[in-house]
Amino acid sequence: MRKSWAVAAAVVVLISEVLAIGSFGIWAHSVTDKSWVSFALLGAGLVAWTLFAFPWSRFGGPIVSPSARLLLYGLALLAVFAAGHPALGLVETGIFVVALALARQPEVLAVILRADRMGRSDRADRSTDPSRA
């Protein structure tokens, strides 16, 4: 039962991350009609999230990752409110607060890190065994 709770919590964290990245696209689309700007901002948010906010990120750490996550969630909320979607902003605020609290739980972090290790070992198996490609 405890593991299923941790997996469900990890899914909530993932959904909050997708919402945060999508918020940048919503704001960019409201500011300009050029789709490439929206995609560029989505890409920039995704790169920043990958480099700093993920638990296993290259430049993350016990202080950097939570701080980057807070900053990116804050910017995502600011983007949604600036785009003129206050109801969506309030819903996202609730989801982000829950996700930040859940992401600090050791059981949830263990599930997230275990999934990453499984993905890495699967990729390594494919690269060494051509029949698994």
pLDDT in tens, the chain (133 residues): 567 888 888 888 888 888 988 888 888 888 887 788 888 888 888 898 888 887 677 887 788 888 888 899 999 999 999 999 999 999 999 999 998 888 788 888 788 777 666 655 554 554 554 554 4
Which residues span the domain enclosing 51? 2-119
Which tokens go with 105?
Answer: 């739980």
Q: Residues 29, 46: contact at Cβ < 8 Å? A: no
> Would you say residue 124 lies in a domain?
no
Q: Is residue 125 part of a domain?
A: no
Distance CA 48, CA 65 (A): 11
Is 78 within the bounds of a domain?
A: yes
Q: What is the pTM of this model?
A: 0.73
Q: In this structure, is residue 100 part of a structural domain? A: yes
Whether residue 130 lies inside any domain: the answer is no
> Tokens 């993932």 appear where?
14
**Residue 127 domain-assigned?**
no
Q: Let me know if residue 76 belongs to a domain.
A: yes
| Angstrom distance (rounded) from CA 83 to CA 45 | 17
- Inside any domain, residue 133: no
Domain count, the chain: 1
